[in-house]
């Protein structure tokens, strides 16, 4: 019963991309996901195992493939560690983007995104 209440109350999950130029250039060849156009998004589920009242975020790095799908997802950092990681990875795995093109060819691109988990106020 508590689990259902916590899930239904709640959860405002905001997705924010790391948007500073420094963050986009901090890793060779990694761009901020905010520079990519999303075509399909699944919001992350609030983990039933998350402690009551805890909010957090997960920084993910991934490869956008030439077909617009996401692959090779890595959790780079999270707070609190391990609480929202699985939820963020499972959601991102289902996202789709417009492919990146260079010189008329669709190419793979590494990107990073920060998913924020916040309770509805």
Does residue 35 surpass a pLDDT of 70? yes
Please answer whether residues 108 and 65 qualify as being in contact, where contact means their C-beta atoms are separated by less than 8 angstroms: yes
The predicted-structure confidence for 3-28, as pLDDT tens digits, reads as follows 332 332 233 344 444 333 333 344 57
- pLDDT at residue number 121: 82
Please answer whether residues 58 and 104 qualify as being in contact, where contact means their C-beta atoms are separated by less than 8 angstroms: no
**Domains of the chain, CATH where assigned:** 2-119 (3.30.2420.10)
- pLDDT at residue number 66: 98
Of 102, 77, 101, 100, the C-alpha closest to 88 is: 77
| Residues ≥6 apart with Cβ < 8 Å to 2 | none
Cα(70)–Cα(79) distance, integer angstroms: 23
Pairing of strands 105-107, 100-102: antiparallel
The predicted-structure confidence for 79-114, as pLDDT tens digits, reads as follows 999 999 999 999 999 999 999 999 999 999 999 999
- pLDDT at residue number 87: 98
């Amino acid at each position: 019963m508590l689990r259902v209440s916590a899930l239904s109350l709640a959860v405002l999950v905001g997705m924010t991309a790391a948007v500073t130029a420094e963050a986009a250039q901090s890793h060779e060849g990694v761009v901020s996901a905010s520079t990519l156009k999303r075509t399909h998004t699944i919001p992350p589920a609030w983990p039933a195992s998350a402690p009551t009242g805890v909010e957090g975020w997960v920084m993910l790095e991934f490869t956008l493939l030439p077909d617009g799908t996401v692959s090779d997802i890595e959790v780079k950092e999270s707070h609190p560690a391990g609480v929202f990681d699985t939820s963020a990875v499972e959601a991102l795995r289902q996202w789709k983007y417009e492919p990146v093109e260079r010189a008329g060819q669709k190419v793979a691109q590494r990107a990073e995104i920060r998913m924020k988990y916040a309770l509805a106020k």
